[in-house]
Amino acid sequence: MKLSILDQAPVFPGHTANEALQAAGELAKLAEQWGYSRYWMAEHHDMKNIACSAPESMLGFLGAVTNNIRVGCGAVLLPHYQPYKVAENYNLLASLFPGRVDIGIGRAPGGSTEASIALSGNFLENVKKMPEKIVELLHFLRDDFPENAFYAGTKATPVPEKPPVPWMLGTSIKSAELAGRNGTGYVFGQFMSDNDGQAAVRQYLNHFEPGPEFSYPYAIVTVNALCAKTQEKAEEIAYSVLQNKVIAEKQLVNKKAALEIEDEQRIKKELKKIIAGTPEMVKDKLKEVQSSFQADEIMVVTYASNYQQRLDSYRLLYESILKIDG
């Protein structure tokens, strides 16, 4: 089984953004040693507990402290940006770290309404242009505009020998079809969706047309997974993380921190989305996910209460899956 990591650069209580980003660098170095396939950074805006608002900057750091692991974004929130500038950013990274750079493409706002307006004005209008923006971005990355196209002679410099590998990220049938039609890899965000992910992956497989990077379809499923030495400990950590999240949200709205019945019901519902348990239990669940989704790879995002818990979880996954498989 191939495993990868999605890092959201959480800023845990009592820590700074600098410490969160440094922790990402340390985890990336260990992930490379342990045999994880890729290390991706998410993009979020206007969130005090998440440090990474610019994955393209963070990837320069991660690439410099590692040697072989693939680094990428999960995802560039394309409605906010012009495709040409995105292509320049990731071509530069691919020139620095040949054969190691992935560019995940998404359409979520990634933050508050005010942050979206500050970034790109009318976000919904930009979302409508998403299919055209994807095609334009891919032409810049692939350097293959038709001869009569307006940008035929325009290069997203520096043009790397090994271009960034494009992926479509999403939680819907539409994102799966876009990935298939454009010949990219596809990543379904199971950890953040109640939609039928298996149907989306099937749609991707059925609509796939080979592109320069992928002769065959390649699907990744991203799950929320947490390992601990005992099931009780894993469930305790998962519950604590969700409880703190709900309390923080309530405090923002009405300053009340006490959990009510509907809050507990919400936590129980969210707990069902988390694969939490011993390494062997999590291993078996991940294999079930891989089989049911027909996925080529599993990407793991881990929510914990501190950096050591998160690191321990990824280490236990390595010991139960990658160390054995390797």
Confidence (pTM): 0.96
Q: Is residue 65 part of a domain?
A: yes
Omega before 158 within 30 of 0, i.e. cis? yes
In this predicted model, what pLDDT tens digit does every residue of 215-228 receive, in sequence order? 999 999 999 999 99
Q: Which of 225, 239, 241 is nearest to 312 (CA)?
A: 225
Q: What are the structure tokens assigned to 130, written together?
A: 């998403």
List the CATH number of the domain containing 170. 3.20.20.30
Q: Is residue 260 part of a domain?
A: no
Q: What's residue 256's pLDDT? A: 66
Domain that holds residue 86: 3-230+277-325
Kindly state the average pLDDT of the residues 122-129: 94
Q: Is residue 154 part of a domain?
A: yes
Q: Which of 175, 241, 178 is nearest to 208 (CA)?
A: 178
What whole-number distance in Å separates Cα of residue 297 and Cα of residue 323? 16
In this predicted model, what pLDDT tens digit does every residue of 263-302 receive, in sequence order? 889 899 899 899 999 999 999 999 999 999 999 999 999 9
Number of domains forming the structure of the chain? 1
* 168 bridge partner residues: 105, 186
